[in-house]
Structure 1
Amino acid sequence: MKKILIVSLVASALLTGCTGGQKTASTLTESGLNPENFNTEVNGAQTQLFVLKNKNNMEVCVTNFGGRIVSVMVPDRDGVLRDVVLGFDSIQDYVKYPSDFGASIGRYANRINQGKFTLDGIEYQLPRNNYGHCLHGGPKGFQYVVYTGTQISDQELKLTYQAKDMEEGFPGNLACTVTMKLTDDNAIDLNYEAETDKPTIINMTNHSYFNLDGNPAQNNADYLLTVNADSYTPVDSTFMTTGEIVPVEGTPMDFRKPTAIGLQIDQNFEQLRNGHGIDHNWVLNTQGDINQICASLKSPKTGIKLDVYTDEPGIQVYCGNFLDGTLSGKKEIQYNFRASVCLETQKYPDTPNKPEWPSCVLRPGEKYTSHTIFRFSTDK
């Protein structure tokens, strides 16, 4: 990988994230990001922008603030590079407009019922930041911390974070690592690892918002979605899983064959009403086999296809139902309703309170691992 793209600033600019001055094109990333806008401090920790590039000229930009994928430049069917994820142009905007855009989520992705769980006879109370539940580790989850970033090579980045015992209510000092590798077959390979000094729970994921048109002003209705799953976990009106696992057969939740999202998402179906559209966990048929595709997303307009692989048992598909056009991201493009799709590989939601589901418990002496691959290609 090229050297970390960090432009030196005077001390005052480091503290304020100064972005003044005319910049030439040579200082910008392929996606148009100015690295100076990421070179600042958040809560006393230094933030940066890291750039990964492969032999095909694909580019992935990552900031250690929240371990976020900021931009992903991939070629469409005509060879034109398009940025296929949502995000912001600066750390200041990530701080000003709290979001999950591109983040490495932890300590527990998705929801925990009423923010409560019991482990080894001890009840823990977590923050309740979403319809009375704890979502994505709470209001100060990993998406708002500064990871330590180390550029391993032109194509690999290592992010580490030390979460303290009882941080956001979770037990155990947790040492976690997210390794992002850009491969030469146009895949982003994500490996998560963690160790703890007390029994705890953990469920990490990446929360990139994919827009395969490279135009977030447009919605995802035409995207073809495939989910390799015969069943899913329904939710109530607060987005909390009911504990059931039900078949997709005969419902709008059936994406076992490539299906346009727009054909399904607005049907008169209780689960779509409860989720304000698609915002559900699917129970994958892949059974932890990283070599099987668990989900795919394709834009007929650009020909860009995203295949997802994981060793996790579930995947949360979220279709940007809460984007409403009031937020503008990179290049001041307005992020309109359903302008993206999130594909969050995971343990099932509220697993700590559903012992019959795959466990999320991590104990001292054990190592948590999770592996996900986002592979991009195009049709011809």
Structure 2
Amino acid sequence: MNKLLALSVLTFCTLISCTENNEKVQLTDSGLNPEKFKTIVDGKETGLYRLKNKNDMEVCITNFGGRIVSIMVPDKQGNMRDVVLGFDSIKDYIDNPSDYGASIGRYANRINNGIFTLDGVQYQLPKNNYGHCLHGGFKGFQYVVYDVIKASDNEIKLSYLAKDMEEGFPGNTNCTVTMTLTDDNAIKLSYEAETDKPTIINMTNHSYFNLDGNPEKGNSDYLLMVNASYYTPVDSTFMTTGEILPVENTEFDFKIPTRLGDQLSKNSEQLRNGHGIDHNWVLDTKGNINVACASLESKESGIKLEVFTDEPGIQVYTGNFLDGTQTGKKGFKYNFRASVCLETQKYPDTPNKPEWPSCILRPGEKYVSNTIFKFTTNQ
């Protein structure tokens, strides 16, 4: 009898222990374990933060790189799908350098030869991509830990102080990123920055969207719309040539929703130079955030993403360098063209093209940039 009682007590204690452990490890709707996002990077704590609205849409964010890790939205049957690429832990983000979901800075996209001149002073930046500076250099904002200024059920505000001459950029520049999840299934992204010395800045979000929630499937069936009559062509090193050319009668004409695979299958010098689409469009919206500058839609899932911005340009990247060698969330292989990036921005290499929209920020001024990712479903 005593042995039976002892066994019962042991079983009860084991159940309590398991219950407590399960409570401590509560997974997100997208299956992420917040414990795997807790570590120390450069002396600062990292974590996972969850936003949710009344429709059960969920957005998970880590302050490592200011990254959107997952976005759960309903498909046309009401089933929730995770529509962005990413990793299950901070360790994976560190071990597999990438831009997945990141808040990019100090300068998104490329700067020719990593050189620009501001107020008569020439600055040399890192050359980390085909001889150019891409996305802020070897340690752009995607690899830093943002400070969490505010975190609530529907909003998170992140801050990062980029020090003078960090990655070669002048000025102590305080940058903030605010992400707000609204009840109409939109994610509002607001970027702000101030500096104590003339500098350049161009921030964006680098989410890789897969609207089927299946990263092993390519993007060829997606319908893409870009509200633009012109684009900026590139050379074989992905650098803009300085031209602004019409999209009409080219593979870059997406003024009406067009099957992406139909355009990507065309044989052209520009598609060869970009290894597919990796180009900037000159938006017809001209800073009007109330008009969609782009949209992406999957007929299979019925999920549609609309993009709104007050920026003059958008970079569309079709995942041309994904090759199945990286394993992301839930063990999915990230195959060739398994996503589309829609990066609102100033044009690439703007610091060296004064006739293009300025990216210069001076003391006493405030840099402000806004983008909205809005999700809907079509039956």
**Whole-Å Cα distance in 1 between the matches of residues 181 and 275 of structure 2?**
34
**Whole-Å Cα distance in 1 between the matches of residues 110 and 257 of structure 2?**
28
**Whole-Å Cα distance in 1 between the matches of residues 168 and 321 of structure 2?**
27
Residue correspondences, number: 360
1:348 is displaced (CA, Å) by 0.1
SS in 2 for 1:117: strand
Partner amino acid, structure 2, of 1:369:
V
SS in 2 for 1:356: coil
1:125 is displaced (CA, Å) by 0.1
1:149 is displaced (CA, Å) by 1.3
The answer to whether structure 1 residue 208 and structure 2 residue 212 are counterparts is: no
1:43 is displaced (CA, Å) by 1.5
Equivalence for 2:124: 125
**Whole-Å Cα distance in 1 between the matches of residues 216 and 151 of structure 2?**
35
Is the alpha carbon distance of 1:25 and 1:358 closer, same or farther for their aligned partners in structure 2, counting shifts above 3 Å? same
**Whole-Å Cα distance in 1 between the matches of residues 267 and 72 of structure 2?**
37
Equivalence for 2:300: 301
SS in 2 for 1:327: coil
**Whole-Å Cα distance in 2 between the matches of residues 22 and 275 of structure 1?**
49
Equivalence for 2:258: 259
Equivalence for 2:145: 146
Equivalence for 2:331: 332
Equivalence for 2:174: 175
Is the alpha carbon distance of 1:206 and 1:348 closer, same or farther for their aligned partners in structure 2, counting shifts above 3 Å? same
SS in 2 for 1:159: strand
1:207 is displaced (CA, Å) by 0.1
**Whole-Å Cα distance in 1 between the matches of residues 371 and 264 of structure 2?**
26
What does 1:1-380 correspond to in 2, within 5 Å?
23=22, 27-380=26-379
Contact 2:49 2:151 in 1 (8 A): no
1:153 is displaced (CA, Å) by 2.3
**Whole-Å Cα distance in 2 between the matches of residues 376 and 87 of structure 1?**
19
1:373 is displaced (CA, Å) by 0.1
1:191 is displaced (CA, Å) by 0.2
SS in 1 for 2:97: coil
1:211 is displaced (CA, Å) by 0.1
**Whole-Å Cα distance in 2 between the matches of residues 163 and 272 of structure 1?**
35
Gaps of 5+ in 2: 1-19
1:150 is displaced (CA, Å) by 3.3
SS in 2 for 1:157: strand
TM-score by length of 2: 0.94
1:223 is displaced (CA, Å) by 0.2
Gaps of 5+ in 1: 1-20
SS in 2 for 1:70: strand
1:22 is displaced (CA, Å) by 7.3
1:24 is displaced (CA, Å) by 6.8
**Matched-pair identity in %:** 74
Contact 2:295 2:306 in 1 (8 A): yes
Partner amino acid, structure 2, of 1:75:
P
**Whole-Å Cα distance in 2 between the matches of residues 285 and 259 of structure 1?**
17
TM-score by length of 1: 0.93
Aligned CA RMSD, in angstroms, stands at: 1.2
1:44 is displaced (CA, Å) by 1.2
SS in 1 for 2:293: strand
Contact 2:187 2:373 in 1 (8 A): yes
Contact 1:50 1:151 in 2 (8 A): no
**Whole-Å Cα distance in 2 between the matches of residues 138 and 379 of structure 1?**
40
Equivalence for 1:10: none
Contact 2:25 2:34 in 1 (8 A): no
**Whole-Å Cα distance in 1 between the matches of residues 86 and 338 of structure 2?**
12
SS in 2 for 1:283: strand
Partner amino acid, structure 2, of 1:243:
G
**Whole-Å Cα distance in 1 between the matches of residues 301 and 162 of structure 2?**
41
**Whole-Å Cα distance in 2 between the matches of residues 259 and 23 of structure 1?**
46
1:154 is displaced (CA, Å) by 0.8
Partner amino acid, structure 2, of 1:374:
F
Equivalence for 1:8: none
Partner amino acid, structure 1, of 2:128:
N
